[in-house]
Amino acid sequence: MLTNPSQVILRNSNLFDNQNVLVINYEDDHLPKHLLEHANKVTALALDYHHHLQMEPETSSELSIFFGHSLPNDELFDTAIIYYPKAKALAAYLINLAGQHLKPGGQLVVVGENKGGVRSIVKQIPAYFDKPFKVDNARHCLLYISELIDQAPKIKLADWVSKYQLDTPQGEITVCNLVGVFSEKRLDEGTKLLLSNLPRMKGRVLDFGCGAGVIAAALLKAQPKLQIECVDINAMALASCELTLKANNFIAATYPSDGLNQTQDKFDGIISNPPFHDGLKGTTEIVKNFVSDSVKKLKKGGVWHIVANRHLAYSDIILDNFGQVNVIAENNKYKIYSNKFNK
């Protein structure tokens, strides 16, 4: 099933006839494969690792699939398609990335939902593109096209980073936050409660949903001998985490994982401010999977230490998997669950 933006793209398939097409930030469907019915060749770059995994089996000589914040080569394309992101600042980065990979006179296509800010493209487009114009309005989405009229600047990640000092209970750390990654330039309440109640950990520890690396950096500041692995599903978050670790002279492994699926072997500890925030049925299922997968990934005696919105239904799920529920700290918004796996 194609998402609404993908359906709008295919409504305008004549734009891609016999072309070499780049698709950036595609959604959870097989749009890149469908484009091969019109384009000669398609290259797809996912910023979401789950989306990448959905498309990766479809790789062929005509369809190249990549995950990350950039392409691994300097290939140029006739057309670049951008799915307009939720974060406006990330849109500017993706436009620059597209411009960098377009041939002179190449076509930029931007699609997004009406409520998602895609109209901003008209004011947001840089001078190396001509003024975008709307070519379709359907399925609650808008589609714009533009043309590359001048050479786009090469992307330097340093130009897209917000770097700042952050006070944590473990001391001051430097945070490097790329566009599109959640950041308040202060310690959010949940993470503050988590870091204020850190257990002593040992050995190999997984930071699940690492974001910009705040928890990993604070943990290494307090317990520098830990072997930390940082995972996230978002390419910009992983790049931010790497930059944060480097800025603080810390070393940790950083890699993409869809849930815990790409982690290897078992851990002495798992720590997280999980990216599950609403109380919807789908979120409850994600929470259930996270807890049960965590149990499978912990060594006997391993520590599981997370912060969660207090309205999320963790207690019964934790009881089912760990045999007990330990809330070691809480406030009016969050709870700290800290369990040892002893089965």
Q: List the single range of 68-72, 218-222, 247-251, 286-290 with lowest mean pLDDT.
A: 286-290
Whole-number Å distance between alpha carbons of 272 and 194: 8
CA–CA dist 17, 271 (Å, integer): 49
Confidence (pLDDT) at 280: 45
Q: Which residues make Cβ contacts (< 8 Å) with residue 19, sequence separation at least 6?
A: 39, 40, 77, 78, 79
For residue 330, pLDDT beyond 60: yes
Identify the pLDDT of residue 279.
45
Residues 6+ apart with CB under 8 A from 67: 45, 46, 47, 49, 52, 235, 256
Average pLDDT, the chain: 94
Tens of pLDDT, residue by residue over 81-112, are: 999 999 999 999 999 999 999 999 999 999 99
Residue 288 pLDDT level (bands cut at 50, 70, 90): confident
Report the DSSP beta bridge partners of residue 286. Answer: none
Q: Using one digit for the tens of pLDDT, what is the confidence trace for 50-69? A: 999 999 999 999 999 999 99
Grade residue 242 by pLDDT with cuts at 50, 70 and 90. very high
Q: H/E element holding 239?
A: helix 235-247
User: Does the pLDDT of residue 285 top 90, yes or no?
Assistant: no
Is residue 338 over pLDDT 50?
Answer: yes
Question: What are the extents of the domains in the chain?
Answer: 4-153, 158-341
Model confidence band, residue 277 (pLDDT cutoffs 50, 70, 90): low
**CATH annotation of 4-153:** 3.40.50.150
- Under DSSP, is residue 316 helix (H, G, I), strand (E, B) or coil? helix
Topology agreement, domain 4-153 and domain 158-341: yes
User: CA of 313: how far to CAs of 63, 193, 230, 276, in Å?
Assistant: 42, 19, 25, 11
Name the nearest CA neighbour of 47 among 262, 234, 180: 234
Instruction: Find the distance separating the first CA and the last CA of the chain, reported in whole Å.
Output: 41
pLDDT score at 343: 72
What local confidence, expressed as pLDDT, does residue 283 receive? 63
Tens of pLDDT, residues 308-322: 988 888 899 999 999
State which CATH number among 3.40.50.150, 3.30.1780.10, 3.40.630.10, 1.10.10.10 fits the domain covering 158-341.
3.40.50.150
Cα separation, 274 vs 209, whole angstroms? 6
- Structure-model confidence comparison of residues 311 and 152, the more confident one: 152
Taking the mean position of all CA atoms in its chain, how far away is CA 306? Answer: 20
pLDDT digit string, tens, across residues 166-198: 999 999 999 999 999 987 778 899 999 999 999
pLDDT of residue 287: 83
In terms of Cα–Cα distance, which of 332, 261, 294, 19 is closest to 145? 19
Residue 17 has pLDDT above 80, yes or no: yes
Token readout for 74 is 């300097």
| pLDDT at res. 236 | 97
| Alpha carbons 212 and 244: distance in angstroms, whole number | 7
For residue 31, the tally of other CB atoms under 10 A from its CB is 23
Q: Give yes or no for residue 135 having a pLDDT over 60.
A: yes
Give me 271's structure tokens. Answer: 């720590």
- Lowest mean pLDDT across 222-231, 256-265, 334-343: 334-343
